[in-house]
Amino acid sequence: MIFYLFWLTIFATAVVCAYKISASDFRRRIIPDVYLCPLFLIGLITTTFFPYWFVDTASCVIGAVFGYALGAIVGIIFEQIINNKNKKAPAPIGMGDIKLLATGGIWLGTNGLAIALIVSCIIGGIWGTLKKQRFIPFAPFFIIGAILALITMTFLL
């Protein structure tokens, strides 16, 4: 009984952190570390100690490294492209987005991270096209993609 109450508290904290990250990125285009670090640590604790999690710990650590590296490479490439055109333009991918990808890798592993990235890019692209936005907040769409990846991994994989 206490075991389930503990995990329910941890997952509720993770949901609150994910909501705060999404709201902050949508409103101010910033992902605060005060919510991102607990989400990362809760994911690490969950994948290590929760016996019924979808992905093993090794795949989650590889997913975190892969997510961080992928985000950093894409951020560097986009920053070089933008800096060649306009020196005063802000970077399109910030460190919060890169750390969010690492957090997604911890929670989802490599397969779930791939699903979440594909879904978030499609949904974010559609939203940006319909709203004619110049900047698209990544966190809300990535968290939606991560939830859909968890559902997919639960029922289909």
Angle 74-77-82 (CA atoms, 0-180°, nearest 5)?
120
Cα(82)–Cα(33) distance, integer angstroms: 26
- pLDDT, one tens digit for every residue, the chain (157 residues): 787 888 899 999 999 999 999 999 999 989 999 999 999 999 999 888 887 788 888 999 999 999 999 999 988 888 888 777 776 766 778 889 999 999 999 999 999 999 999 999 999 999 999 998 878 899 999 999 999 999 998 887 6
**Quick one: CA torsion of 32, 61, 110, 57, rounded to 10 degrees?**
-120
Cα–Cα distance for residue pair 30/18, rounded to 1 Å = 13
Q: Are 71 and 63 in contact (CB under 8 A)?
A: no
User: Which residue type does 143 have?
Assistant: I
Q: How many domains does the chain have?
A: 1
Task: Report the residue count for the chain.
Answer: 157
Mark out the alpha helices in the chain (DSSP H runs): 2-28, 33-49, 57-85, 95-131, 138-155
- Give the contacts of 82 (CB within 8 A, at least 6 positions apart): 89, 91, 92
Which residue range is the domain that position 136 belongs to?
2-155
Res 113: pLDDT? 95
> pLDDT at position 73, please?
93
pLDDT of residue 122: 95
